[in-house]
Structure 1
């Protein structure tokens, strides 16, 4: 199981290197057993007062032990080096594979999963190879060699040892089975509670606003109870397994001791040989006991490495074997597009419309109508199930990803900023941009106004996810990226829907400049922001129900006109009147 999980996580080449290291580890353990075997003639001659031969066996013992010690140091150094290379290979494979996954895969749950795997898999691999597997391989090789030495001393005693080993193997497999079942339940409970804790923390403003300070969410309490039950099951499994293995170890050693003593009492076995048999039985028990002490660590490492293997098997976004360059124009077209998520519910059904080069097309409609999905299909967050999305007349699936992203700039409502400086967050759009281009992008996006207010200016760190900036400030940084990238097609997904009026006005001014002479697809929430669009497409239940200019759609009196009136009432300012005195 462990080698299988390792193979899926680090690849066959790294596994071959580790197997060589494992073989060397086992070979050193066999050499140690050969050295210990020298104790048999040494003790026998010692009991017989044959001191010249005692010195001979002692010298051989010292030479073999010294050789084994040097070999152990060499193998340990090699194992550490191979482990470091394997960890690096694992992290490279995960990073390389992550860059090939569809952008839509990177939801909140998968982001957490990716972070956990990158963090935990390297630690698990290091602990497993350098610690657990090295211990276990040494234990198995040493134990098998010691059993052969025991068989050389006295076969009946070795037979008793073999029976005890069979018992221990059975108990070990039972303990691992109990632990595996308990670990699975604990992992599921831990995954469930992570989401519940985040949700509970996010709901604190609502709970406190309504005076529910001491209340905890029912789902959270249920998840906590599941974690408690999972932990209890895990510890029960670990304790039961450890106790069973300890009992089996005691039975094993007692059986070998009784047989060896009986053989010595009946003079079928010399006293010196009986002493050696008991000594090797004790060493054999200690070697086997090492397996029992590492069972829980192996199971945990197996789970983490299996998760890494599962991640590496997530299908990559297909790249065309012979990429087709986009046409010379910067048009955008949706041709009978249909799409559904993993739930199977159709989100888009036969959507079709064109956005000629240099024009602005707005997509509006009620929540859940598929607007955001439509925008993200342009950037291949996912691939369509039917139909096609075309840039410059070419299906985006036939374009190289780098070529597609060079044509498209994305500005979304949810802006992601990494924990770096403002300059670094903008510069990621074009690391090779000149200072003049950078300053122009920042000025057009109104980021220079933000920088002037900050003590460290452009070198101000924005914090994790841009937490030190407001929503409007984060959005301006995102627009500056789009300016710096200079792509001829711009996709805007409700970039002002969560902003106040002041920030909205600044963002709209920046977007107006960004969209000049470009092809624009905008997902709109506030209709007053898109009344001047060249074309407006109304999307409802995943289908295009109306299309035309604002004036045309208002004159038609259809769904768009009714939707516009509904939003106007919803966003109408509240007017208060004073009471006469």
Structure 2
């Protein structure tokens, strides 16, 4: 039986599964009764009591017809319910995923969602549709056969019951060993896959540093760990299988020996001895069916555990009635936040961004600048304090309402594997051709479109891999311009671009921020000299705040950063002696 974790399936789905399992048990009981009727039928045939034999044969025929009908009904219902169950799990997973904090989503979580709604879901459907029925039928048959043996000859039945108990213990011990080996193997496999991907992706760096030999050694070590994990798994599988088969053989031998002793001692007649032997064979066959389906059940349970883990992730609260922000001002009060690692990233952050003003967040790397901007978009929930938009706590807004008021242009631009047109229109699918053309011109995406043979219909590739970094940034800006939201969160990302792209992006950024409330993460301080407010963040706290002139006069951390950047801009490479 597959155990579905609490909270994964809805009440209606759980009720459907229980009814379906009940139908399978009922049909299996009818099939088990057919086995039981074989006992008096065989006895009558061996003893040549033909009138009785005909009566039992007729009874068996009626039971067979009813059992076949019940089996077909249960199988049809089982197929329907398994499909409904998997669909329900997928819908619940999707419904919960869209309510999760945006910060939860990562390449790893996206891969998990893809697997759980794809191959893993199909495997779960196959398990619910086939393995569960096999297990229920096998367990039901084993109970009916064992009861029949106990009625036929209590002594033989008790020996069979003892053997069956030993087999059950062996099954659970083998299952525990295999589950542990499977979990270890899966962990090792995932780690190795990551190392192999890293090895492939970082070939240029490894070769330029002359570290290919060390990298090859690390890959070989990873492969050796994989072989060791596989060997451990197969050792467990072989030991479990051999122990189970040995137990099955001992069960049959014990029953046959008991039958022989009982027959020789005149305690059991020949017809009953033959029937007991047939029933013992049926019993071991039923138990063997349980042992053959273990790996499929464990895989299905692992899938369900992954679904349960995602569903257990706290979702963003969605109010039934959401207030409307009065304006586009932003205010942070005592904001604190830390990731799952437990390390606090931000502590007691407080400042205001009045409507229509530009606030720059500056500071050293790792100080929490990007986290701060993403908290404003409610990628995560703050641990303490509050963030308000237009005087309304963003936790009181629906996620869709909040995001409709915010345009985001971050350094790590993500483009869908679609055309340039589709990526820009993502911000406003119902935009007119004129609006699309205007946004493209402002972000100078029209220049990109003009030089590509397929123009607007050019595929950008996976995550935009067919375009350069500057081109991806221009498309991201065009998307933000087309959205035309009153609040702009901008992670300035021009420091690593060529002059042409930097000029285009700066011009588009100036248009994007005009008349809007802007929170910009500044990496180059000369780009935010004109900001209405500059907040210097260090070690997760606000160290200084003010205008560019005020902070220079303060001669603190901002002034120190400003002077360091100015000195860095004057660095030159000069020819040395002998060069």
Which residue of structure 2 lines up, in the alignment, with residue 344 of structure 1? 342
Q: How many residues align?
A: 579
Give the aligned partner of residue 510 of structure 1: 508
| Matches of 1:113 and 1:566, distance apart in 2 | 44
Report the aligned-residue RMSD.
2.3
Distance in 2 separating the partners of 1:525 and 1:487 = 24
Matched, 1:190 2:181: no
Structure 1 residue 515: deviation in Å? 1.1
Unpaired segments ≥5 residues, structure 2: none
Distance 1:147 1:555 in 2: 92
2:413 equivalent among 412, 415, 432 = 415
Q: Aligned runs of 1:46-61 on 2, under 5 Å?
A: 46-61=45-60
Structure 2 CA distance for partners of 1:106 and 1:473, relative to 1, 3 Å:
same
The question of 1:98 aligning with 2:94 is answered no
Matched, 1:442 2:440: yes
Contact 2:4 2:301 in 1 (8 A): no
CA–CA distance in structure 1, aligned partners of residues 496 and 219 of structure 2:
28
Corresponding position of 2:129: 130
TM-score when scaled to structure 1? 0.94
- 2-structure distance, mates of 1:579, 1:262: 105
| Secondary structure in structure 2 of the residue aligned to 1:537 | strand
Distance 1:270 1:578, change over 3 A: closer
1 CA distance for matches of 2:286 and 2:154? 20
In the alignment, is the contact (CA less than 8 A) between 2:3 and 2:301 conserved in 1? no
Alignment correspondent of 2:333:
335
Matched residue, 1:110: 109
Question: Once superposed, which parts of structure 1, at least 4 consecutive aligned residues long, lie more than 6 Å away?
Answer: 578-581
Distance apart, 1:88 and its partner CA: 0.9
Q: Could you say which residue in structure 1 is the equivalent of 2:167?
A: 168
**d(CA) in 1 for partners of 2:334, 2:165:** 66
CA contact (8 A) 2:25 2:137 kept: yes
Cα deviation, residue 235, structure 1: 1.8
Residue range with higher mean Cα deviation, 63-72 or 249-258: 63-72
Q: Partners in 2 of 1:127 and 1:415 — Cα distance?
A: 39
- SS of the residue corresponding to residue 361 of structure 1 reads strand
What is the aligned partner in structure 1 of residue 211 from structure 2? 212
* Residue in 1 that maps onto 2:308: 309
Distance in 2 between residues matched to 1:386 and 1:280, nearest whole Å = 68
Q: Indicate if the aligned counterparts of 1:121 and 1:308 stay in contact, CA closer than 8 A.
A: no
Preserved contact between residue 4 and residue 304 of structure 2 (Cα < 8 Å): no
Q: Residue 29 of structure 1: CA displacement?
A: 1.4
CA shift digits 1:194-223 (9 cap, x unpaired): 433333333222111123334317765554
CA offsets 1:298-328 (integer angstroms, 9 cap, x no match): 222212211211210111122345432211x
Match of 2:357 in 1: 359
Report the Cα offset of residue 274 of structure 1.
1.2
Distance 1:225 1:237 in 2: 18
Q: If the length of structure 2 is used for normalisation, what is the TM-score?
A: 0.94
Find the aligned partners of 1:150 and 1:578 in 2 and give their Cα distance.
Answer: 98
1:111 positional shift: 3.0
* 1:152-191 deviation digits (Å, cap 9, x = unpaired): 3222111111111111111111111111222222233233
Q: What does residue 68 of structure 1 align with?
A: 67
User: Aligned partners of 2:195 and 2:567: how far apart in 1?
Assistant: 36
Query: 1:369 maps to what in 2?
Result: 367
Contact 2:36/2:144 (<8 A) preserved: no
Matches within 5 A, 1:382-421: 382-421=380-419
What SS class does the counterpart of residue 94 from structure 2 fall into?
Answer: helix
Cα offset for 1:473?
A: 1.8
SS at match of 2:8: helix
The structure-2 alpha-carbon separation of the partners of 1:578 and 1:21, relative to structure 1 and needing over 3 Å to count, comes to same
> Which has the larger displacement, 463-472 or 427-436?
427-436
Give the Cα separation in 1 of the matches to 2:566 and 2:237: 63
Q: Is the 8 A contact 1:179 1:299 kept in 2?
A: no
Asked if 1 retains the 8 angstrom alpha-carbon contact of 2:149 and 2:279, the reply is yes
Structure 1 residue runs without a partner (length 5+) = none
Aligned counterparts of 2:468 and 2:178: Cα–Cα separation in 1? 48
What is the deviation of 1:408? Answer: 1.0
Deviation sequence 1:439-491 (CA, Å, 0-9, x none): 32223222222222333322222222122222122222221221222110000
Q: 2:520 aligns with which of 518, 522, 536?
A: 522
1:543 and 2:541 aligned: yes
Q: 1:217 to 1:352 in 2, by over 3 A?
A: farther
- What SS does the aligned partner of 2:345 have? strand
SS at match of 2:212: coil
Does residue 554 of structure 1 match 2:538? no
Report the alpha carbon displacement of residue 501 of structure 1 after superposing the two structures with TM.
2.5
Find the aligned partners of 1:339 and 1:373 in 2 and give their Cα distance: 9
Matched, 1:32 2:31: yes
Task: Answer whether contact 2:115 2:121 (CA < 8 A) is retained.
Answer: no
Distance across 2 between alignment mates of 1:450 and 1:261: 89
Deviations 1:341-386 (A, max 9, x none): 2333332222222211112111111101111111011001122223
Q: CA deviation at 1:49?
A: 2.5
SS of match in other structure, 1:432: coil
Aligned partner of 1:270 in structure 2 is 269
* TM-aligned CA distance change 1:52 to 1:580, over 3 Å: closer
Between the aligned partners of 1:65 and 1:190, the Cα distance in structure 2 is 48
Deviations 1:119-175 (A, max 9, x none): 354134213211221111110011111112222322211111111111111111111
User: What is the distance in 2 between the residues matched to 1:502 and 1:574?
Assistant: 22
Kept after mapping to 2: 8 A contact 1:8/1:306: no
Judged with a 3 Å threshold, the aligned counterparts in structure 2 of structure 1 residues 71 and 452 are, in CA distance, closer, same or farther, namely farther
Contact 1:413 1:498 in 2 (8 A): no
Instruction: Give the drift of 1:35.
Output: 1.7
Structure 2: distance between partners of 1:389 and 1:498:
32
